[in-house]
């Protein structure tokens, strides 16, 4: 997907013109994948643009950095304020926001010495539906990938680190080569993990089930939001390891992510899911989720952050 460039990118503490937000080719992250990043969305709402779950994303950025011992020289309130600033200064009504922290140019070598520079960049641009404009309504066809997720004790899946996405890229390439919109990866033990860039939920007999944190998933913030919204709607939610074939006999399946939002799945490995169209639970959750931005769903969790550009320090439990 081509990036719709904007005017400014926040880079190491200041706004620089889009074209000037560059790095040295000997930056550590380019060689060893030592970056951590986030993806957030700002939605246009009746009370102006609002960022969805800003504090939760900043917290996960800092958690990812901690796991990889990347010392980001900015604290959460500063990162929150910078995310707002890039949206405001680029005049965006809605946006995808991409904070990226990485080991920069210092010495070459796998293990960086203390004090190796860490850079932080935050860009924002307009980004539409991740899996295509029709996907949110009609659903997508997915396959199980021959590539499995990283096993525990190899690369930590809970960190949203650049290096992890070599796995996602292979899963995504294979799926598209085979004519599918997205690939689902199994974890090292063969149970369902997640999509290349999305968490997975299935519905069976009205119960919503999703793989647990230990299934080599990224703990998605959309996943967390969907579980909270579902419980609020009186839907039973379980985090449970799932054998692959549970997808074949599910009544409904959908994928969640900041980019993918809530995207129904209409087939897995060419087996039709349920009735083959968006199911009632998926639809109810989409309505609750998108209702947060239209004003139909009351934001009782403090998930929407206005762009007043003031760091609030508020941290909402997830
Ligand atoms: N799993 C993976 C592997 C993943 O990359 C994402 C987000 C999720 C789950 C869902 O997490 P959350 O956004 O917090 O609900 N993927 C991001 C990157 C997409 C991209 O292609 O780049 C995203 O959705 O922003």
Other beta carbons less than 10 A from residue 47's beta carbon: 9
CA of 272 to the centre of ligand 1 (A): 25
Burial of 40 (0-12, 13-18, 19+ CB in 10 A): buried
Q: Which residue puts its alpha carbon closest to atom 25 of ligand 1?
A: 39
Give the Å distances, CA to CA, from 244 to 51, 83, 148: 35, 38, 12
Which listed CATH number (3.40.50.300, 3.30.470.10, 1.10.357.10, 3.40.190.10) goes with 8-128+306-315? Answer: 3.30.470.10
Architecture of the domain defined by 135-278: Alpha-Beta Barrel (3.20)
Query: Cβ(183) to ligand 1 under 6 A?
Result: no
Residue 66 appears among annotated catalytic residues: no
- Which position among 4, 14, 113, 160 bears the catalytic label? 160
Q: Which ligand 1 atom is the nearest neighbour of the CA of 217?
A: 1
- 3-state SS of 170-226 is HHHHHHHHCCCCEEEEECCCCEEEEECCCEEEEEECCEEEECCCCCCCCCCHHHHHH
Domain 8-128+306-315 matches domain 135-278 at the CATH topology level: no
CA of 185 to the centre of ligand 1 (A): 14
Domain residues of the chain, as ranges? 8-128+306-315, 135-278
Burial of 9 (0-12, 13-18, 19+ CB in 10 A): buried
The pair phi, psi for residue 186, each rounded to 5°, is: -90, 160
CA of 104 to the centre of ligand 1 (A): 23
> Per the confidence metrics, is the pTM higher than 0.85?
yes
Query: Cβ(256) to ligand 1 under 6 A?
Result: yes
pLDDT in 10s for each residue of the chain, 318 residues: 789 999 999 999 999 999 999 999 999 999 999 999 999 999 999 999 999 999 999 999 999 999 999 999 999 999 999 999 999 999 999 999 999 999 999 999 999 999 999 999 999 999 988 888 799 999 999 999 999 999 999 999 999 999 999 999 999 999 999 999 999 999 999 999 999 999 999 999 999 999 999 999 999 999 999 999 999 999 999 999 999 999 999 999 999 999 999 999 999 999 999 999 999 999 999 999 999 999 999 999 999 999 985 444 444 443
The answer to whether the CB of 232 falls within 8 A of the CB of 284 is: no
């Amino acid at each position: 997907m081509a990036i719709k460039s904007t005017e400014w990118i926040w880079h190491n503490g200041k706004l620089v013109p889009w074209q000037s937000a560059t790095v040295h080719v000997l930056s550590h992250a380019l060689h060893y994948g030592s970056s951590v990043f986030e993806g957030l969305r700002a939605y246009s709402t009746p009370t102006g643009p609002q960022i969805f779950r800003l504090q939760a994303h900043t917290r996960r950025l800092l958690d990812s950095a901690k796991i990889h011992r990347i010392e980001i020289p900015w604290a959460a309130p500063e990162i929150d304020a910078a995310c707002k600033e890039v949206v405001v200064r680029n005049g965006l009504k809605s946006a995808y926001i991409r904070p990226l922290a990485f080991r920069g140019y210092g010495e070459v070598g796998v293990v960086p010495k203390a004090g190796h520079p860490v850079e932080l960049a935050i860009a924002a641009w307009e980004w539409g539906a991740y899996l295509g404009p029709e996907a949110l309504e009609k659903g997508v066809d997915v396959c199980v990938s021959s590539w499995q997720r990283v096993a525990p004790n190899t690369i930590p899946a809970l960190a949203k680190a650049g290096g992890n996405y070599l796995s996602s890229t292979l899963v995504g390439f294979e799926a598209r080569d085979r004519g599918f919109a997205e690939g689902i990866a199994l974890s090292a033990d063969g149970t369902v993990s997640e999509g290349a860039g999305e968490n997975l939920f299935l519905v069976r007999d009205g119960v919503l089930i999703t793989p647990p944190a230990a299934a080599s998933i990224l703990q998605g913030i959309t996943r967390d939001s969907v579980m909270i919204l579902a419980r609020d709607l009186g839907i039973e939610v379980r985090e449970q390891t799932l054998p692959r074939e549970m997808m074949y006999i599910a009544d409904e399946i959908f994928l969640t992510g900041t980019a993918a939002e809530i995207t129904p799945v209409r087939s897995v490995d060419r087996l039709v899911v349920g009735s083959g169209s968006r199911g009632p639970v998926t639809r109810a959750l989409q309505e609750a989720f998108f209702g947060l931005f239209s004003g139909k769903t009351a934001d009782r969790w403090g998930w929407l952050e206005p762009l007043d550009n003031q760091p609030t320090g508020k941290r909402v439990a997830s």
